[in-house]
Chain A
Amino acid sequence: MTQIELATSNGTRMAETSDDAALAIRGMTVSYGQKPAVFSVDMTVPVGSMTAIIGPNGAGKSTLLKAALGVIKPLAGTATVFGQPVADARARIAYVPQRASVDWDFPTRVIDVVLMGLYRELGLLGRLRGAHKAKAMECLERVGMQDFATRQIGQLSGGQQQRVFLARALAQDADLYLLDEPFAGVDAATEKAIIDVLQSLRADGKTVVAVHHDLSTVPDYFDRVFLINTTRIAEGTVEDAFTPQTLQEAYGGRLATGQLGQTALGA
C-alpha cells in the first residue's frame, strides 16, 4: 500500500524530470531476506552533475547502486538512464565496483583488466586489436598508471588497484559513471588523481555518481548529495541538502554533533 502511495506522490515530479535525468530511480526496494536494505527510494541525478551518495554503514548506499545497475535484482522499483531502461543503456554506463569485491591474485595484468572495459564493444568473437590496446594505455595514462601496464595485478597497492578500476571504467567511454567507494582506503596521491579524473569527466559534460564516506570532502568534491539510510533522507545541491539537520537525520546518534556542525559549516 505504502509503496503505491509513494509512487503516485512522486508521479508529478517524475514526469518533469526523469526523461532528461542521467539516472532516475523510482520506488526502489531491495531486500536481503526479509529486511529491506533499501526501501522505496527515489533518486534523480541531473545530467552533468557530480553526486555523492552518503549515509552510515549498512544504509544501503552500495545496494542502491547495484540495484539500479541490475547487478542485484530489486524486489520492486525501476531505474532509467537518460530516459531509457538500464538494459538498453548499458553502453552509456560505466561502473567502478568496490576494490575489495574481487580476488587480486587473479592471473591477469593491469592492461588486461582495463581491456575488460572494452569486452562489450568487442562482442563474443571480435578480435583484440592494436587500437584497443592503445585505448587501454590511454586510459591508464589518465590515471597515472601507464608504467604498470604489464604488472600482475597482485603487485599493486590499494590505491593503484583503485586507479586501475577507474581506468577500466574510462575505457567504457560512458556518459554516466557510477563509482562505489572510490576513495576508500587509498593514499593521498591516488585520491587526488581520482578526483582530478572525475572533475575532468564532469567538465566534458559527463555525469558522476559516487558512494562516498568522507563527509569532510563532500563540499569540495561534489555539487550534489543524496543522503540515504534505508530510505531517502535528503537529495539536492550541497547547499540545500548537506545540512546539520539532514546529516543528523541520516546518521542519528552515530555522528558527534560537533562533527556535524563543523562539516556543514564547511559547506
Chain B
Amino acid sequence: MLWHALTLQLGYNATLVTLGAMLLGIAAGVTGTFLFLRKRALVSDAISHATLPGVGIAFIIMVALGGDGRSLIGLMLGSAASAWLGLLCIGFLTRRTRLAEDAAIGAVLSVFFGIGIVFLTFIQTMSEGRQAGLEGFLLGSTAGMLYSDAVIIAVGGALVLAAVIAFRRPLSAVAFDPEFAASSGLNVPRLDLIMMGLVMAITVVGLKIVGLILIVALLIIPPVTARFWSERVTGVLWVAGIVGGVAGYVGATLSAVAPALPTGPVIVLVLFVMFALSLLFAPARGALAAVLKHLSFQRRVHIRQGLLALAQGQPIYEKLTLRLLQRSGLARADGVATTDGKARAAKALRDETRWQMARSREEFALAATFYDGLTEIETVLTGDQIGELDRLIGAPMGVPA
C-alpha cells in the first residue's frame, strides 16, 4: 500500500493530490528562502495564524448564502483577507507605536488565532452547512479532498513559484543589502510587500494540505536545511525547493495510506529528518564537519608550535603537542627531535622569520594579511618576493637596505 502510494499507483485522485502537495512544497521552500534570507521568518507564523478567522467567516457567509460552506476557493479568499488584515495590524503596530516587531507579531498571532477558534466553535453548533472537515484547516488533511481542490493547490503553487523565480534577483538584493538596493532604485517597501504577498499566497494555498499551525515549517525548514549545503542564493533556492518538494510528496502519500493521520505533522516530521541529517552531515557547515575541522586545525597549531619550540631548543611542556609530534614521527618520546623533525623544525623557523619580516614591511602589507601562524609563506609570495625577504633578513636590522 505504501509502495503503491509512493509510486503514484493509488488512483487518479490520490496521485493528483500528491503532485499538488509536491508542487506546493517546492513553491513553499523557494518562497521561504527569501523570507529566511530577509530574516522575517516569524512574520509567516503570524500570517498563517491570522488566516483562521477568515476561514470561519467565509464558511458562515457561504452557508448564509445558501451553500454548504465547503468551497475551497471561498475559504481561501476568506483566509487571504484576514491574513492581510493581520499583516496590516503588524505593520501598524511596528510603525506607529513603540512596540517592537516581535511583540507585534506575538500579539496579532494570538489574538487572530483566538478569534478564529471562537468562530470554529460557533460553527460546530450551527445546524446548516457541512462543517465536518473544517478543523482539517488546523493541522492539514488530504482526506476527502476533491479533484478541483488538488488542481487549485497545484496551479496556485505553480503561479507563486513562477513569481518568486521572476523576482529572485531584486528579492535577494534587498535581502542582502537593502540600503544599496534602495540606492540603486529598487522600491524596498514594495518588494517586501511582494514577498509577504507571495508568502501569504503559499499559506492560503497550503492551508488545506498542511494546516495553518504548521505551514510555517514548510516555508522555513527547507531554506534552513538548504543553507547547510550551499553558499549561494541559487544553490539554497534549488535545495530548498527539493527539500520542500520531497516533504510535500512524502507527507501526502503517507496521509493517503493512513487517512486518520493529519498531513501537517507528517510533513513536518519528514522535514525534520532532512534538517537533522543536514545539520549533522553537511560537508562544509555541518556539525560533524565543524568538529573535524576544529580537530585538524588544533593538530596543525600544536605541531607548528612544537616545531618552533624544537627549532629554538625550547622544552615542550604540553602533553598534546608532544603526543602529536611523536605520532607524526617528528619527535621521540623524550621530546628530542627526529631527523625528519629537525628538518621540519628548521623549515618552520625559517618560515616564521620570513613572515615576521614581511609583516614589518609596508610593501608586503597585503601579503601580511594572510599571516595566521600556519600558512606556508610560499603559498602567498613568489620566489622573487621571498628572495627579497631573505635579503632584508640578511641585512642588519635598523639599517636601510
Seen from chain A, the residues whose Cβ lies within 8 Å of a Cβ on chain B are 66, 69-71, 87, 90, 93, 95, 97, 101-103, 106-109, 112-113, 116-117, 119-120, 122, 124-125, 144, 152, 157, 159, 168, 172, 178, 187-189, 192
Q: A107-B235, A109-B232 are in contact. Are A101 and B166 (CB under 8 A)?
A: no
What is the bound-complex CA distance between A178 and B166, given in angstroms? Answer: 30
Can you spell out 30 A-B residue pairs with CB atoms less than 8 angstroms apart?
A66-B179, A69-B183, A90-B183, A95-B180, A97-B179, A97-B183, A106-B176, A107-B231, A107-B233, A107-B235, A107-B236, A108-B172, A108-B176, A108-B232, A108-B233, A109-B232, A112-B233, A113-B176, A116-B176, A116-B180, A119-B169, A120-B184, A120-B185, A124-B166, A124-B167, A125-B166, A172-B184, A178-B183, A187-B369, A188-B365
Report yes or no: A157 in contact with B369, Cβ–Cβ below 8 A: yes
Which B369-385 residues sit within 8 Å CB-CB of chain A? 369
Cα of A107 to Cα of B184 in the assembled complex, Å: 21
Whether the pair A101, B177 counts as a contact (CB closer than 8 A) is yes
Tell me whether B362 and A188 are in contact (CB under 8 A): yes
Q: A178-B183, A189-B365, A192-B365 are known contacts; what are 12 more A-B pairs with Cβ within 8 Å?
A: A90-B184, A101-B179, A103-B176, A107-B233, A108-B232, A116-B180, A119-B173, A119-B184, A124-B170, A144-B366, A159-B369, A189-B366
Number of B residues near A (Cβ < 8 Å) is: 30
181-203 of chain B: CB within 8 A of chain A? 182-186
Instruction: Choose among B180, B227, B369 the residue with the greatest number of A CB atoms under 10 Å from its CB.
Output: B180
State whether the Cβ of B175 lies closer than 8 Å to any Cβ in chain A. Answer: yes
One of B167, B173, B235, B368 near A116 (C-beta < 8 A): B173
Partner of B177, one of A97, A187, A188: A97
Inter-chain contact A71/B185, CB cutoff 8 Å: no
Chain A residue nearest to B175 (CB atoms) is: A106
Closest B residue to A121 by CB, please name it: B184
Q: Interface majority SS on B: helix, strand, loop or mixed?
A: helix
Q: Which residues of B contact A90 (CB under 8 A)?
A: 183-185
Q: A106-B37, A108-B231, A108-B232 are in contact. Are A69 and B365 (CB under 8 A)?
A: no
Indicate whether A71 sits within 8 Å of B183 (C-beta atoms), given known contacts A106-B37, A106-B175, A189-B369: yes
Chain B residues lying within 8 Å of A97, measured Cβ to Cβ, are: 177, 179-180, 183
CB distance from A127 to the nearest CB of B (A): 11
Give the CA-CA distance A67 to B192 in the complex, in Å. 20
Is the beta-carbon distance between B231 and A109 smaller than 8 angstroms?
A: yes
Question: Which residues of B lie under 8 Å from residue A168 when comparing CB positions?
Answer: 180
Question: Of all chain B residues, which has the CB nearest A70?
Answer: B182
Q: Which B residues lie within 8 Å of A159 (CB)?
A: 369
By a beta-carbon cutoff of 8 Å, the part of chain B in contact with chain A is 37, 39, 166-167, 169-170, 172-173, 175-177, 179-180, 182-186, 227, 230-233, 235-236, 362, 365-366, 368-369
The smallest beta-carbon distance between A163 and chain B, in angstroms, is 11
The answer on a CB contact under 8 Å between A102 and B236 is no
- A98 to B60 alpha-carbon distance, docked (Å): 53
Chain A residues in 8 Å Cβ range of B365: 187-189, 192
Contacts of A69 in B (CB 8 A): 182-183
Q: Which residues of B contact A102 (CB under 8 A)?
A: 176-177
The residue in chain B whose Cβ has the minimal distance to the Cβ of A174 is: B184
B169 near A107 (CB under 8 angstroms)? Answer: no
Query: In the complex, A152 Cα to B365 Cα: how many Å?
Result: 23
Query: Which residues of A are found within 8 Å of B369, using beta-carbon distances?
Result: 157, 159, 187, 189
A113 to B180 Cα, complex, angstroms = 11
Assuming the A-B contacts A122-B169, A172-B184, are A71 and B232 also in contact, with contact meaning beta carbons closer than 8 angstroms in the complex?
A: no
4 closest A-B pairs by beta carbon, nearest first, are: A95-B183, A90-B185, A189-B365, A189-B366
Output the nearest chain B residue to A157 by Cβ-Cβ distance: B369
Give complex CA distance A144, B186 in Å. Answer: 29
Contacts of B231 in A (CB 8 A): 107-109, 152
B233 partner residues in chain A, CB cutoff 8 A: 107-108, 112
Complex Cα spacing A239 to B39, Å: 47
Q: Which residues of B contact A192 (CB under 8 A)?
A: 365
How long is the Cα–Cα vector from A90 to B187 in the complex, in angstroms? 12
Q: Give complex CA distance A95, B167 in Å.
A: 22
Q: How far is the CA of A189 from the CA of B180 in the complex (A)?
A: 25
Q: How far is the CB of A161 from chain B (nearest CB, A)?
A: 12
Which residues of B have CB within 8 Å of A93?
Answer: 183
Q: Measured between C-beta atoms, what is the minimum distance from B318 to chain A in Å?
A: 29
Bound together, the chains give a CA A13 to CA B262 distance in angstroms of 73
Which residues does chain A contribute within 8 Å of B177, judged by CB atoms? 97, 101-102, 116
Q: Are B232 and A107 touching (Cβ within 8 A)? A: yes
A232: min CB distance to chain B, Å: 22
What is the chain B residue whose CB lies nearest that of A105? B227
Neighbouring B residues of A120 by C-beta, 8 Å: 184-186
Contact A71 B182 (CB under 8 A): yes
Distance of A172 Cα from B173 Cα, bound (Å): 14
**B175 neighbours in A (Cβ, 8 Å):** 106
Shortest CB-to-CB span from A211 to chain B, Å, is: 13
Are the CB atoms of B184 and A95 closer together than 8 Å? yes
Q: Name the B residues within 8 Å of A125 (CB-CB).
A: 166
Of A70, A87, A107, A117, most B-chain CB atoms within 10 Å: A107
Which residues of A sit under 8 angstroms from B37, Cβ to Cβ? 106-107
Residues of B within 8 A of A117 (CB): 184
